[in-house]
Amino acid sequence: MPLQSKGHGRQGDAVVRCSASPGNRSPAEISTAAKIRSEVLSPFRTVRMFFYLAFIASGGLGGLIAISRLIAALRNTPNSDLAPEILKGLGIDLAAVALFAFLYARDLKAQNAQLAKLSREETLANLKLEVNGKNVVPISKLRGFARLIIVSGPAAFIEEAFRISDPFTKDLLDRGVRVVYFATDGLVPNLQALNANSNSIDEKDDEQLSSISRRKSLWQLTPIYTSEWSKWLNEQKSLANVAKEKPVYISLRMDGRVRGSGVGYPPWNAFVAQLPPLKGIWSGVLDGMDGRI
């Protein structure tokens, strides 16, 4: 969804709370976890790469033998008629080495890309969230319980995303969606004021109060240790060739993997259309087909 520029500013000088980080897991530990997940996701890649190396070694050895035979045949005039046949065998060996080297390099590139992606997801899993301003949990604790949507941008952008999500609140909650909002300009989005201004306090009935409660449930997660969040988000933007100042959204699957991302406001209607409800006949059946948004 393309980004729409905003002409209004944000008043106030509230600052997003930052804290000293307790430290993430060591790179070696993250790498080990990523390798294990990579093996599970691609169980036959290691076997293929082993055989590719074996075929490369076999072809290389055959090529060396063919070269020595060719030199001997060229030096020995009576055996020079064997040179074409030796050259043919040498060509086959070199072609086999080139083919299996290409296949090995392709699998190695795919493995490195997958490990890098899994390592980023492991880093994301260790980022901390504050729930309703009370409990602090890592994202990994929400695996299997919630589909997180990370909304990152200026406070005014987050407030507008909050307003746009209003009609889809109940359907999003039914699908396990929870929003993590991260203001990049150091201001605190005043979501409570938006709820309070939607109706006069004296005119609120039970249904309106229930609607406000649902919206608070949807938008109850805020990042802490914001320097780590900024670093992770900037890495994601860099990989996607997106400018650091651009507001973005990133959606996660139920298992914590990144499902999709984009610049601008999250497509709330598309989330409702693609994601299966947590309860009902399709509960659990479509978790693996979590959409692409």
**Measured CA angle at 60 (ends 56, 61), to 5 deg:** 120
**Measured CA angle at 181 (ends 28, 249), to 5 deg:** 75
Residue-wise pLDDT tens digits, 4-50: 333 333 433 333 333 334 444 444 444 576 778 778 888 899 899 99
Helix (H, G, I), strand (E, B) or coil at 207: helix
Residue-wise pLDDT tens digits, 38-84: 788 888 998 999 999 999 999 999 999 989 888 887 787 676 778 88
Is 108 a residue whose pLDDT tops 70? yes
Q: Quick one: angle between helices 191-198 and 155-164, nearest 10?
A: 40
Query: Look-up: residue for tokens 């076997």?
Result: 47
Q: Contact, 249 vs 153, CB < 8 A?
A: no
The pLDDT value recorded for residue 170 is 92
Is 264 a residue whose pLDDT tops 90? yes
Q: Contact, 161 vs 266, CB < 8 A?
A: yes
By the 10 Å C-beta count (0-12 exposed, 13-18 middle, 19+ buried), 200 is classed as exposed
Query: Look-up: residue for tokens 């086959």?
Result: 92
User: Residue 210: how many CA atoms within 13 Å on its side-chain side?
Assistant: 5
Strands lying side by side in the sheet with 258-263: 135-138, 128-131, 221-223, 177-183, 147-153, 248-252, 258-263
pLDDT band at 249 (very low <50, low <70, confident <90, very high): very high
pTM exceeding 0.75: no
Residue-wise pLDDT tens digits, 114-150: 888 888 888 888 899 998 878 899 998 988 889 999 9
Q: What is the phi/psi pair of residue 177, to 5°?
A: -75, 135
Average pLDDT taken over every residue of the chain: 80
Domain spans in the chain, listed from the N-terminal domain onward:
37-124, 128-274
Question: What residues contact 138, with CB distance under 8 A and at least 6 apart?
Answer: 125, 126, 127, 128, 129
Q: Contact, 186 vs 92, CB < 8 A?
A: no
CATH architecture of 128-274: 3-Layer(aba) Sandwich (3.40)
